């Protein structure tokens, strides 16, 4: 029911406003954004003695997309994003062990938006996207390849074998993204767009897999949060 309401919202805006005219009948371009994450559950696994610190930053996403004007002020398009963030450090109780914990995400899907011009060339867009993809957690423990000397020694006949353990655990995600954006066409063929929205993310905390096999127990990640995006678009 929530997804249906979000899809109806931009259509109602477009049909009820009396302002007409758009700079671009179709556009596409490069998009970069910041996806805020609630790191509480993952930071619990990053103990101080591991020397790794905590996750604090948003995920930097980059991607691209575009849309076409299909009726009056209604645009239909598609976009895709990918990005990752990681922390690492040396074990303070055993300096020969390095650890890395990272989270990455990739998604793609359609979006629908309504467009009108409240003042001059400035455009206001209200829309919603639905993206499908995957989020992965990579857990690495390395007790041998902390330097190039270790790597080349293990490559030779010294008998020094690095110990490297890595686990990639992933799950599918569905993201509903209601947003508001301000777009300004600098020329008849180029403009920029500033967008603020929310990533309402659905996933199964019991549905993680490693090596295509289910992982027991539950791991939650706070993926539902705000999303800020800048787009550099080309249109006509």
* Sign for the pseudo-dihedral over CA of 143, 145, 150, 154: positive
CATH number at residue 141: 2.40.160.20
- pLDDT of 161 reads 58
pLDDT class of 17 with cuts at 50, 70, 90: very low
What is the spatial distance between Cα 191 and Cα 161, in angstroms, rounded to a whole number? 54
- The answer on pLDDT for 19 being more than 50 is no
DSSP state, residue 4: H
- The mean-pLDDT minimum among 2-11, 27-36, 75-84, 143-152 falls in 2-11
Q: Which residue has the tokens 């180029």?
A: 190
> And the tokens for 36?
């805020």
- The answer on pLDDT for 217 being more than 90 is no
- pLDDT of 15 reads 38
- The answer on pLDDT for 18 being more than 80 is no
State the Cα angle at 102 between 98 and 107, rounded to 5°: 160
- pLDDT of 145 reads 59
- pLDDT of 226 reads 96
- pLDDT of 64 reads 95
The β-bridge relationship of strands 26-35 and 59-71 is antiparallel
Residue 129 burial (C-beta neighbours within 10 Å; 0-12, 13-18, 19+): buried
Locate all alpha helices (DSSP H) within 65-211, ordered by sequence: 148-155
Q: How far apart are the first and last CA of the chain?
A: 36
For the chain, how many structural domains are there in total? 1
> How high is the mean pLDDT of the chain?
82
Give the residue-averaged pLDDT of 153-165.
63
- pLDDT of 158 reads 58
What is the H or E stretch that residue 231 is in? strand 225-235
**CB 22, CB 117: distance < 8 Å:** yes
- The mean-pLDDT minimum among 42-46, 134-138, 139-143, 160-164 falls in 160-164
Alpha carbon 17 to chain centroid distance?
32
What is the spatial distance between Cα 225 and Cα 236, in angstroms, rounded to a whole number? 33
- The answer on pLDDT for 224 being more than 60 is yes
- pLDDT of 23 reads 64
Give the residue-averaged pLDDT of 195-206.
95
Whole-number Cα distances in Å, 141 to 111, 166, 195, 199, 204: 40, 6, 38, 31, 26
89 vs 75: which has the higher pLDDT: 75
Q: Report which of 63, 66, 76, 65 is spatially closest to residue 113, judged by C-alpha positions.
A: 76
What is the spatial distance between Cα 194 and Cα 129, in angstroms, rounded to a whole number? 16
| Range(s) of the domain holding residue 92 | 2-235
> And the tokens for 230?
């800048």
- pLDDT of 5 reads 46
53 vs 70: which has the higher pLDDT: 70
- The mean-pLDDT minimum among 1-10, 66-75, 123-132 falls in 1-10
Give the residue-averaged pLDDT of 186-201.
94
Say whether 17 sits in a helix, a strand or coil: coil
Give the residue-averaged pLDDT of 101-130.
93
| % of the chain with per-residue pLDDT over 90 | 46
Q: Report which of 85, 104, 72 is spatially closest to residue 173, judged by C-alpha positions.
A: 104
- The answer on pLDDT for 144 being more than 80 is no
Q: Which residue has the tokens 């930053």?
A: 57
């Amino acid at each position: 029911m929530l997804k249906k309401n979000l899809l109806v919202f931009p259509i109602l805006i477009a049909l009820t406003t009396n302002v007409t005219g758009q700079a671009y009948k179709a556009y596409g371009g490069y998009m970069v954004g910041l996806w805020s994450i609630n790191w509480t559950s993952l930071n619990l696994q990053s103990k101080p003695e591991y020397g790794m610190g905590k996750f604090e930053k948003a995920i930097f996403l980059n991607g691209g997309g575009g849309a076409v004007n299909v009726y009056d002020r209604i645009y239909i398009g598609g976009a895709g994003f990918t990005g990752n963030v990681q922390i690492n450090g040396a074990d303070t109780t055993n300096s020969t062990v390095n650890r890395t914990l990272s989270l990455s995400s990739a998604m793609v899907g359609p979006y629908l938006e309504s467009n009108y011009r409240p003042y001059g060339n400035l455009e206001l867009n209200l829309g919603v996207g639905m993206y499908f993809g995957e989020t992965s957690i990579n857990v690495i423990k390395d007790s041998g390849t902390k330097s190039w000397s270790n790597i080349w020694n293990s490559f030779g006949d010294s008998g020094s074998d690095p110990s490297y353990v890595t686990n990639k655990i992933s799950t599918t995600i569905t993201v509903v993204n209601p947003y508001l954006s301000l777009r300004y066409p600098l020329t008849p063929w180029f403009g920029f767009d500033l967008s603020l929205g929310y990533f309402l993310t659905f996933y199964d905390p019991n549905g993680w897999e490693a090596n295509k096999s289910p992982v027991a127990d539950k791991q939650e990640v706070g993926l539902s949060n705000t999303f800020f995006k800048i787009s550099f678009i080309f249109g006509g």
